[in-house]
Structure 1
Amino acid sequence: MPTPPATGPLVTRDTLAEELRELGVAPGETLLVHSSLSSLGWVCGGAVTVVRALRDALGPGGTLVVPTQSGDLSDPALWSNPPVPEEWWERIRAAMPPYDPLITRSLGVGVIPETVRTWPGALRSAHPQTSFAALGPRAAEIVGGHAPDCRLGERSPLARLEELGARVLLLGAGYDSCTSFHLAEYRVESPLVAVGRPAAGGGWEVVTEVSVDADRFDELGHDFERDRPVVRGKAGAADARLFPVADAVAYAERWLPLHRPRGTESTRPPA
């Protein structure tokens, strides 16, 4: 079988940076980016080109922020993709390496965040499962102080981004990836859950946390976009959306109790 031709459009650093500027990305702003490299088309230089284009659009005074989650540092009893045998659980818990912001890879958020994480000068927050990485003059302010018992709440980079007037860029990603909605879960009635993970000093620990769940975030995003100003456009072949973190959080605070009510009972998965 012949190799199929590459599918476009052809995306370069310059064309992508210009499209981001046309969308409204402004020099000097702080931008939280959720992304899908494959949605853009044929990117000359891959994820490195995308990061360079984002930094070109933001300029030297801008700060680029990405989620660098590491959900594999979690309780193997809850794994489903794929599951592991129950007789392995205790051995995995005992052997799982602790989180190290310098070397623990990100997982499930795409290759662009992993590229930002490893970029010279990038800083990463301290939470072992829901960290963020940042590049730019406000990076330390944003990622510093991420509490180990606050995945995506008031003591996380999301709250700092809200305070700083940051905006979200969905670059080929859907609203199900919009972490800003999770900050609202901390401000409405939400259940608590016991979260198991490797402890910083070795061994295994369980912390009580607000239960975060992206269920129905697509619907939430649809309504948010209908009712609030969201800049929409294209970057390469990707759909792109741009909006303030604060707007997304405030809308979700009103939407979630009406459309996705959740109890306050504590739940405890196996630990």
Structure 2
Amino acid sequence: MSNHPAEAADRLPHTRESLAADLAALGVRQGSTLLVHASLKPVGYVAGGPHAVVLALRDAIGPDGTLVVPTHTPDNSDPAGWQNPPVPEDWWPVIREHAPGFDPQVTPSRWMGAVAEVVRTWPGAQRSDHPQVSFAALGRLATEVVYGQPRAGMLGADSPLGKIYGLDGDVLLLGVGHDSNTSLHLAEYRQADPPPARLGAAVQTANGGREWVWWDDIDLDESDFELLGADFDATGTVRTGRVGGALARLMPQRAAVDFAERWMSENRK
């Protein structure tokens, strides 16, 4: 038997109730709009799995809160730019012609984690219709957050990120680092002359068909987000703590974006 009761307790399954208590202790606000980026592995065993985690998140923000997650589909993009892995050039026109069009009702997210997928498929969830960087939301302001995401300027002022900024929402990084903090991209749109990018994706048409579309946006770059995030941590604005077994960071989104805007202007060439 262990002589360390705290360590023994750490091995117990986490529950909806214990996670909700951890989130409240971290500072998650009742009634808030909360954008969550999560990886469940660091959290440890949870009785009920990702379903229980989403219930705990909803308990923490309360009945008047709004839970938002990224439901991005980065594989629905121009194959000419794929690197991990790349595909042969003669595949590109086949992919552009035959990839299923994005349908916000059924297209699964990719690489966003189990929490995002549980929220996306939750009864009553609302999802934006951007073919690459959609968001899903549950709660009082869900429709307001996700409605009208533009194809160009996809993570800019009129995106769900911009809506969360306007609502003075918070960002929770649960078991993930600042490199997963999508909100920092909002600061890139505020830079002078951000580098341009030509983007493409398959979309569903009004008659149930599909087509490949192109749009002009900016060349998003998260390669320095960990450095940026470390400097932001040093300001004391970020609250850190354990949610289950995972290190979690909670921050006001406005403060993070405003700091990132200044940081990028000073540190990016």
TM-score, normalised with respect to structure 1: 0.91
How far apart, CA to CA, are the structure 1 residues paired with 2:17 and 2:123? Answer: 21
Asked if the contact 1:9–1:237 (Cα under 8 Å) also holds between the matched residues in 2, the reply is: no
> Does the residue aligned with 2:231 lie in a helix, a strand or coil?
helix
Match of 2:201 among 186, 197, 211: 197
- 8 Å Cα contact 2:189-2:218 kept in structure 1: yes
The residue aligned with 2:253 is: 245
Q: What secondary structure sits across from 1:239 in the alignment?
A: strand
Give 1:218's aligned residue. Answer: 226
Matched, 1:94 2:97: yes
Amino acid at match of 2:240: R
Aligned length: 255
Please, which of 160, 164, 169 is the counterpart of residue 161 of structure 1? 164
> Residues 192, 55 of structure 1: CA spacing in aligned structure 2 closer, same or farther, 3 A cutoff?
same
Q: Indicate the residue corresponding to 1:179 in structure 2.
A: 182
- Provide the rounded CA distance (Å) in 2 between the counterparts of 1:136 and 1:29: 10
The yes-or-no answer on 1:209 pairing with 2:217 is yes
Deviations 1:223-267 (A, max 9, x none): 011024111111111001111110011000100122122xxxxxx
- In structure 2, what is the equivalent of residue 81 of structure 1? 84
Per-residue displacement from partner, 1:111-134 (whole Å, max 9, x unpaired)? Answer: 110110001110001111001100
Look up the SS of the partner of 1:42 in the other structure: coil
**4+ runs deviating over 3 angstroms:** none
Superposed counterparts of 1:35-74, under 5 Å: 35-74=38-77
Q: How many percent of aligned residue pairs carry the same amino acid? A: 50
For residues 202 and 178 of structure 2, what CA distance do their matches in structure 1 show?
30
- Listed as ranges, the gaps of 5+ residues in structure 2 are 1-9
Deviation at residue 43 of structure 1 after TM alignment: 1.3
**How big is the shift at 1:75?**
1.1
State the partner residue of 1:269.
none
Residues 155-190 of structure 1 deviation map (CA, whole Å, 9 limit, x = unaligned): 100111001010011111100001111000000021
Deviation at 1:45, TM superposition (A): 1.3
Three-state SS of the structure 2 residue aligned to 1:246 is helix
Q: Indicate the residue corresponding to 1:232 in structure 2.
A: 240
1:9–1:41 contact (8 Å) kept in structure 2: no
Which residue, 127, 140, 156 being the options, matches 1:124? 127
Alignment check: 8 A CA contact 1:62 1:137 kept: yes
User: Is 1:143 aligned with 2:151?
Assistant: no
Look up the SS of the partner of 1:11 in the other structure.
coil
Aligned partner letter, 2:16: R
> Matched residues in 2 for 1:36 and 1:102: separation?
23
Give the CA RMSD over aligned residues: 1.3
